[in-house]
Amino acid sequence: MLLFLAIAVTAWLLLHQAMHSVSGASHQDVVFNPGYQHSQRLKVAAARAAMDVLGMASPDQAAGYQADYRLQRMQIRADAEGLERWAPNDRRHQGLLKEIRASVAELNRALDQAAGATAQGQIPLLTALNRAESAFSNYAASLTEPTNLQTTPYLFASPVVLWWLLVLLLIELAILAWLVFSARETAPALSSDGGLQP
Task: Give CA–CA dist 127/135, Å, rounded.
Answer: 12
pTM to 2 decimal places: 0.60
The total of other beta-carbon atoms located within 10 Å of residue 113's CB is: 18
pLDDT at position 23 is: 45
pLDDT in tens, 109-167: 999 999 888 767 789 999 999 999 999 999 988 887 654 444 344 344 445 555 555 66
* Phi, psi (rounded to 5 degrees) for 99: -65, -40
- DSSP bridge partners of 196: 190
Are the beta carbons of 89 and 70 closer than 8 angstroms? no
In the chain, where the domains are located: 1-28+158-198, 34-142
- DSSP bridge partners of 190: 196
Task: Give CA–CA dist 82/136, Å, rounded.
Answer: 14
Low-confidence ranges of the chain (pLDDT < 50): 20-28, 147-158, 190-192, 194, 196
